[in-house]
Each structure stands twice: as C-alpha cells, then as structure tokens.
Amino acid sequence: MKNIKFKLLCLAALFVLGSCKKDFLQQNDPDANAIGNSFKTENDVLLAVNGCYSLLRSGNTIGESSDLWTDQRSDDTGTNDNQSNAGEPFGFNNFSLIPTNSYLYTHWLAMYAVISNCNIVLSNIDKVSFANPATKQKYKAEAEFIRALIYFHLVREWGDVPLVTKQLTTTEDIAANTARTKQATVYAQIVTDLKDAANSPLPATQSAGTIGRISLAAVNTLLGQVYLTMATTLDAATKTDNLNNALTYLTNAYNAKTFGRLSDIPYSDVFDVTKKSTCPELIWQIVNIQGDPVYSSSIAANSQAIGETINSQKPSTGVGDNVTHDLVNEYENGDPRMVFSIKYAAASTVKDWYVTKFRDVSSGAGKNGYGGNDWILMRYADVILMLAETNMYLGNNAVATQYLDMVRARAGMPTYEVSSVDPVYSASYPTLKLAILHERRVELAFEHHRWFDLLRTFTTDELVTYFRNKSQANFGSALLSNFTTKDRYYPIPFNETKLDPVKMYQNPGY
C-alpha cells in the first residue's frame, strides 16, 4: 500500500444509503443500524480501518501540524503573537488556557472521532467472513492500536477521560458514556488493546508496500512507552513492574531493527524525502505524496520564515515556525543537529530562529510547497533513548549510558562519560536523568515529543519549578509566571462539562 487513502467518505456513503426507508414517516432511529449494515465484505472492513488511519493525518489529532497541543505547550516552540486570531493558540504556550478555548475543543472532538471510528470497526468486524483468519486479526489489531494510541494522548493531556470501547448506537448509550474514567482504568484498556495487537500476525516491521501501516515493532514501541509513562506517573507501588515491562517491550522493538549501528544512518537521512521509504530508522510514519495538493506535506513551507529558501521553494510571508531561545541555548557547541534543525532568519520582520528540520526544495514539491515529507511518528533514536531512560530508572546506569552514547555518537558528540566532566555540560545536566532528557530534546526536537517527555520526567511540582527557573527573556511574550500546578493537564472543554458537571468534572485550577 503506497499511501493510506481517506476512505471515510465511502463508509459515510454506505451509511446514507443504508439509512433509506420506504416509509418516510417511520420513526425508527435511522442511525441505529446503518453503519453496522455497511460491514459485509473484507474490503468494507479494510476501508473502515483505512478511515481510522486517515484521521491521524489531521492537525486536530496527531498529524504534522498538531504542534499546538505538543511542542507549543512545551519550552521548544510557540507564537509571540497574542493578538487577533492568534489569541486562542497563544493560550497554549502562555499557560493561559480556559475551558472555552475553541482550538482545545476541536482537538477533543477530533480525537474522539478517531476512537469512534475504531470502535465501529471493532464492534462490527465479527459480522464479516474472512477467507484468511489472519487478515481479520491484522485489521482488528490495527484498530485496537490506533484506539490505544489516541487514548494514550488523551490520558496524558487531560488525565481522567471518558473511556468508550464500543459503538454507541442509542442516546442512552451516549448518556451512560458521558463520564470521565480514572487514569489507571484508561491505561489498563490501552495495555489490553496493545497486548492484543502484539499477539497478532502483524508484520515484524514496515516494508515496501506497507509504509504507513503499523507493525509489531510499532506496537512494541508504543507499549514500552506506555509502561514507561505508567511507571513514572502512576502508583509508585507498581513502578518497578511497569519499568520491567517497559524494558521488555522496548527491547523487543529494538531487536526488530534492520540496521547495525545507529551511527550507520546519517541524521539527515531520517528527514530526506528521497529516502523516506527506505530509511531503516523509521518505524512508523504518516505517508504524504509529493506534489499532491491534498495528500502532500505542508510542514516545509509553513515552517519557513520570510526571505528564507532552505525549506521550500514556496515563498514565505511570515515568521515561520518560531523556536524559543531556550531551545537554541540547549544545543551543545558543535552539535550538527542544531545546524540541520534550526536557522536564524535575518529579515527585518523576523530576526529570530525558525525550524528547518523538515525540508523539500525539490521540483516535485515546486513553488506551491506540496512537500513529500512523511510525518514520522516513531523511529529508533526514540526507542534507544527510552531504553536509556528505563535502564536509568532501574539503576542500570552503565547500560543506560551505552544507549545514550549510541545517539550521541551518531551526532558526533562526545560520550556521556567525557561530557559529564565538562563544567558547562555538567552544570546544565548534573544527573543522568537530565542528560537523557537533554538528548531527547535536541535529537527529537519538533517531532512532538517534548511536552510528553516533560510530563513523564517531572512530578507536577517539579514541573512548575522547572519552568519557573527558566529565563523569561528566552520566551518572548509567553509568561512563564503563568505556569502553575493546574497546567499539568488541559481543562476539560466547557461544552463537555456542561453535559454533566458531576460525571464530567473539571480539572483543578480551571
């Protein structure tokens, strides 16, 4: 499969046709069974699963333009425009969100739309006869994986969230499920879904013809990350068990790699549009089509500042994707990832840093900036650094350092042992824990990991201290003094809490 196509419209069309009645006065609920009746063949299931994948492309879910809920919430990027139509987005990096923020509500609805589509697949797949039972297992695993992935985002962003695992067909169903579920229960469902997917006949890794679809390597990567997050954010009594589980699944993912050393893969190759289907570091990505006005990538053009040409042939009129000076200062001297990832724009209307990590100046992308960059959701440098983190928490510092050095070696940076005796490095990262967090920041910058890394690394009080200790001068108009304990989670959208103020209770501080 060269590209994951949008197929939801097909499913919607079937739904409309299935809703037609001869008796136009009949009062039966037209929505109750129409979707279920659309599942008759294996291809119907495939189209529905593809529809689940397609929703991930959106910036309102986890696509390339979803940085508002991730990087802009962190200390990496953000807008300095707090006026006009940028007012609501500014609330994310200014830590001044309110429950009526329309962008946040749109994000919430889009995420639950993905879950709803996965639930439709899982609630109806048993109606279809499959020539090969393995095909059914794969489709089921894909829907379970996507549902688990979205719930993993939701539970980290909002804490307790409604947990829905079936197709809702009646108003009674909807009312019964309009209630927040405790985080531990949500995590338990995430693990159940992912373990089921891990025991399915999915391919070991993505390969030609399956780029954009999940593999067992992707399942193990996510399951390892989930256990690592549970270990550091949930009940301390289960921390060691969760860490050992994280180690198991992350090791499974690492052992599935098809390359020798990470340093054999140049950093620039990871983001080279001509190598996106062959780079062995990539575990899972959202596929884009260069030159296509609908399925292309816009990240290269949209990131570029006025007067610059390194990202795209499309002329820019704005400041591009703004980078905080806090991140600029994080790069060590001589780190080539800085030169590749960011650049200073000297235009009089900019005079600031912008993102250059995602580039496509090819004739295929052209003057319209229809780039071919795939949006990378998982890659092995992330797995390696999570293995470093897991081993560090388990007290295996020597092993953790070995993993950390794999990433530093690829970047041409000194080993951790050498760097740790450098006064500048050791002052900034006095512990192995902070050194790993630093390495994740510069290695994975702008790949939408940073905010979740911070949530996993620090307790709520520690996170407040971490932000408050930063220099305000490195954050422009965004006020670090706004950051309080409430900012660990987003506010539940007002339109949700008003449905049932008791069961859809608001997060503290909002």
Cα–Cα distance between 231 and 252 in angstroms, integer? 18
Structure tokens at 260: 């020798």
Strand, helix or coil for residue 16? helix
Percentage of the chain surpassing pLDDT 70? 92
Global pTM reads: 0.93
The DSSP secondary structure of 370-382, one letter per residue, reads -B---EEEEEHHH
Q: Residue 12: is its pLDDT beyond 60?
A: no
Q: Residue 78: is its pLDDT beyond 70?
A: yes
Q: Which fold has domain 1-202+478-510?
A: 1.25.40
Report the pLDDT averaged over residues 114-141.
98
Mean pLDDT, the chain, rounded, equals 93
How wide is the angle at C-alpha 345 spanned by C-alphas 344 and 348, nearest 5°?
135
Q: Residue 74: is its pLDDT beyond 50?
A: yes
pLDDT for position 4? 40
Categorize the per-residue pLDDT at 482 as very low, low, confident or very high, splitting at 50, 70 and 90: very high
For 14-23, 120-129, 417-426, which range has the lowest pLDDT when averaged over its residues? 14-23
Give the pLDDT confidence of 307-336 residue by residue, as tens digits: 999 999 999 999 999 999 999 999 999 999
If we measure between CA atoms, which residue out of 345, 363, 253, 355 comes closest to residue 306?
345
Q: Residue 300: is its pLDDT beyond 80?
A: yes
Q: Which residues of 78-115 are buried (b: 16+ CB within 10 A; e: fewer)?
A: bbbbbeeeeeebbbbbbbbbebebeebbebbebbbbbb
Categorize the per-residue pLDDT at 222 as very low, low, confident or very high, splitting at 50, 70 and 90: very high
If we measure between CA atoms, which residue out of 61, 150, 117 comes closest to residue 375?
61
Percentage of the chain surpassing pLDDT 90? 90
DSSP 8-state class, residue 181:
B
If we measure between CA atoms, which residue out of 350, 345, 366, 376 comes closest to residue 446?
376
Q: For residues 361 and 87, which has the higher predicted lDDT (pLDDT)?
A: 361
pLDDT for position 82? 52
Report the pLDDT averaged over residues 261-271.
98
CB 89 within 8 A of CB 34: no
Give the pLDDT confidence of 180-210 residue by residue, as tens digits: 999 999 999 999 999 999 999 999 999 888 9
Strand partners, 197: none
pLDDT for position 342? 98
For 71-80, 164-173, 285-294, 439-448, which range has the lowest pLDDT when averaged over its residues? 71-80
Give the pLDDT confidence of 406-465 residue by residue, as tens digits: 999 999 999 999 999 999 999 999 999 999 999 999 999 999 999 999 999 999 999 999
Report the pLDDT averaged over residues 79-97.
79
pLDDT for position 37? 86
pLDDT for position 6? 37
Q: Residue 33: is its pLDDT beyond 70?
A: no
Categorize the per-residue pLDDT at 28 as very low, low, confident or very high, splitting at 50, 70 and 90: low
Domain ranges, ordered by start, for the chain: 1-202+478-510, 293-361, 389-477
Burial class of 130 by CB neighbour count within 10 A (0 to 12, 13 to 18, 19+): middle
* Residue count (the chain): 510
Secondary structure in 3-state letters for 186-215? HHHHHHHHHHHHHCCCCCCCCCCCCCCCCC
Report the pLDDT averaged over residues 453-482.
96
Cα–Cα distance between 503 and 433 in angstroms, integer? 38
Report the pLDDT averaged over residues 254-283.
97
Helix (H) or strand (E) holding 298, with range, is none
pLDDT for position 142? 98
CB 259 within 8 A of CB 280: yes
Give the pLDDT confidence of 229-254 residue by residue, as tens digits: 999 999 999 999 999 999 999 999 99
How wide is the angle at C-alpha 51 spanned by C-alphas 300 and 10, nearest 5°?
115
